[in-house]
Chains A and B, each alone.
Chain A
Amino acid sequence: MPRTIIPFGPQHPVLPEPIHLKLVMQDEEIIEAIPAIGYVHRGLEKLTETKDFNQNVFIVERICGICSFKHALAYCQGMENLMDVEVPDRAEFLRVIWAELHKLHSHLLWLGLLADAFGFESLFMQVWRDREKIMDIMEETAGSRVIISTNQIGGVKRDINEDGLKKVVKVVDELYIDIKNVEKVFLDDYTVKHRLVGVGVLSKEDAFALGTVGPMARASGINEDLRTLGYAAYGKLEIEPIFETDGDSYARTKVRIREVFQSISLVKQAIDKIPEGEINVKVKGNPKGEVISRVEQPRGEALYYMRGNGTKNLDRLRVRTPTFANIPALLKILPGSQLADVPILILTIDPCISCTER
């Protein structure tokens, strides 16, 4: 039977953001996949050359809605390194608290979308209902639900007082019990395991040669987590990278669920150890020179390169996001699988296409 080409289009009910794949098929099996991106290219790197270096924080936050706090954190850290500014301790702990809350809501969003991809709608609604508690606590402490705009070069803009911290602990404790109930459905149910075990296997050598990052690499056995580098108060908390060795979709789900529990315990540790003090320092002068800053986003490692030339505008800002590095791995696991598994395989790399195309 001759080969057919099926377009897996930019619009699909299971995709959160538009990506186009041309699938070359023989009967029900995929032989080759050719990607095409470019539907949300906004030219943000050029826009940052026209604005003040203080106003760039607002542009950088809006690259992606789900990982927006960590983008601002990477930018502010790089500029603080370049201009030799020392951030007070209380600001660093506040940044860690908001960053871990963001990681929680990103992984819960992904779990809901995965349940929707294999058709289990009531599980999708249950997980998103639990995610609403985190959105409410972020609005109460920072002012807004999704893009919270609390980072600035030199510290943070707002403080959380004693009552606010107690509320955060209460919400996170309730969330622990809710997610424990849902974990049994994801990992022990007979039908769910049939869709996930043995699907889309990526070996450790392939994951290393293709440069994969994040939970996708950790599920194939590479034991690295950039938060152990120790930036922004992570050096004072205990972190151990979570990894599995199987490399299939079941292992990736398991890694992300265990990271949800790890984030809950990190938030509680940070609230225990937070010191008193100021929350920001004043910044003088203009940036000059080049610097690189790396952070661990919910989807993997992001790299920022900045170059300044002594005036208020930056010369160049370069962003490399984790989904950009995971797309070649997607092209490696698609050949050989069935057509009905394609939505699940695309979702296991956690695609964030607006980050990829800025």
Chain B
Amino acid sequence: MFNMVGNIFKNLLKKPVTRNYPVSKRNFFKGSRGQIKGVDISLCIFCGICERKCPPTAIIVDKKEKSWEIDPFKCIICGECVDVCPKKCILMEEQYASPSIKKEKHKFKQEIKKAI
């Protein structure tokens, strides 16, 4: 009848399974999808493929203004934009996004070079 007692004794003698959180943090595995950090704006050619493929339409690309904007609260971290970008300039990080106080969008703008 006391079949669970063996398990309980083994657990008492081993070290705890839970982590002491703020002191020791978890290491994320390589290749896990955490958050979209942003874009390397000097390589972007503003083709707009990432905007068309995004399922919740969280990316807005403006060719005339040369800007790239993402709404991180709509993003579902699927990784489609990273896969289809022809210049491979969208950056995906392994760390999860930390909570924030207000909703804001991240905008990146390229410097417009004047012809000499």
Number of interface residues of B (CB under 8 A): 19
Q: Is B55 an interface residue (CB 8 A)?
A: yes
Task: List the A side residues contacting B3 at CB < 8 Å.
Answer: 184-185, 188-189
**Nearest CB in chain B: distance from A260 CB, A:** 17
- Over the window 119-160 of chain A, the binary record of Cβ atoms lying under 8 Å from chain B Cβ atoms (1 yes, 0 no) is 010110010010010001001100110000100000001000
Inside 8 A of A140's CB, which chain B residues have their CB? Answer: 29, 31-32
Chain A residue contacts of B32, Cβ below 8 A = 139-140, 143-144
Q: Which of A51-59, A91-99, A314-322 faces chain B?
A: A51-59
- Are A59 and B55 in contact (CB-based, < 8 A)? yes
Of all chain A residues, the one with the shortest Cβ separation from B94 is A143
A51 touching B55, Cβ below 8 Å? yes
B4, B11, B77: which has the most chain A beta carbons within 10 Å? Answer: B4
Q: Is the CB of A55 within 8 A of B79?
A: no
CB contacts (< 8 Å) of A185 on chain B: these are: 3-4, 7
Question: Could you tell me the distance between the alpha carbons of A41 and B34 in the complex, rounded to whole angstroms?
Answer: 28
Tell me the number of A-to-B contacts counted with CB atoms below 8 Å: 45
A129 touching B78 in the complex, CB below 8 Å, given contacts A51-B55, A139-B29: no
Known: A59-B55, A143-B79, A181-B7. A190 touches B29 (CB 8 A): no
A143 CA to B41 CA in the complex, in Å?
26
Per-position 1/0 for B6-44, Cβ under 8 A of A:
111001000001000000000001011100000000000
Contact indicator A58/B76 (Cβ below 8 Å): yes
Pairwise interchain contact A189-B1, C-beta atoms closer than 8 A:
yes
B79 touches A122 (CB 8 A): no
Interface assignment of B104: CB less than 8 Å from any CB of chain A: no
Query: Complex: how many Å from CA A55 to CA B51?
Result: 13
Q: Is the interface of B mostly helix, strand, loop or mixed?
A: loop
Q: Is B83 an interface residue (CB 8 A)?
A: yes
In the complex, what's the smallest C-beta–C-beta distance from B40 to chain A, in angstroms?
21
CB contacts under 8 Å to A, within B50-79, are: 53, 55, 76-79
Cβ contacts under 8 Å, B31 to chain A: 140, 143
Q: Which of B4, B7, B8, B78 contacts A58 (CB 8 A)?
A: B78
> Measured between C-beta atoms, what is the minimum distance from B88 to chain A in Å?
16
- B102, chain A: closest CB distance, angstroms: 26
CA distance A136 to B32 in the complex (A): 11
A184 cross-chain contacts in B, Cβ below 8 A: 3
Q: Which residues of B contact A139 (CB under 8 A)?
A: 29, 32
Contacts of B8 in A (CB 8 A): 122
**Least CB separation from A136: chain B residue:** B29
Given A59-B55, A129-B17, do A143 and B7 touch, yes or no (CB 8 Å)? no
Closest residue of chain B to A51, judged by CB?
Answer: B55
Partner of B55, one of A58, A129, A132, A190: A58
Residues from chain B with a CB closer than 8 A to the CB of A59 are 55
CB distance from B101 to the nearest CB of A (A): 26
Which residues of chain B are within 8 angstroms of A123 by Cβ–Cβ distance? 4
Q: How far is the CA of A122 from the CA of B4 in the complex (A)?
A: 9
Q: B79 — which chain A residues lie within 8 A by C-beta? A: 143, 149, 157
Closest chain A CB from B43 CB (angstroms): 23
- Contacting residues of chain A (165-207) with chain B, CB-CB under 8 angstroms: 181-182, 184-185, 188-191
Bound complex: CA of A188 vs CA of B29, how far in Å? Answer: 39
A185–B76 alpha-carbon span in the complex (Å): 40
A128–B79 Cα distance when bound, in Å, is 29
Question: Which residues of the other chain, A, contact B6 by a CB distance below 8 angstroms?
Answer: 181
Identity of the chain B residue whose Cβ is nearest the Cβ of A150 in the assembled complex: B79
Interface residues of B (CB under 8 A from A): 1, 3-4, 6-8, 11, 17, 29, 31-33, 53, 55, 76-79, 83
Known contacts A55-B55, A189-B1, A189-B3; 19 further A-B pairs (Cβ under 8 A):
A51-B55, A59-B55, A120-B4, A122-B8, A136-B29, A139-B29, A139-B32, A140-B32, A143-B32, A143-B33, A143-B79, A144-B32, A149-B78, A157-B79, A157-B83, A181-B6, A181-B7, A185-B4, A188-B3
Show 14 residue pairs from A and B whose CB-CB distance is below 8 angstroms, ordered by the A residue.
A55-B53, A55-B55, A58-B78, A126-B7, A126-B11, A139-B29, A140-B31, A140-B32, A143-B79, A144-B32, A149-B79, A185-B7, A189-B4, A191-B1
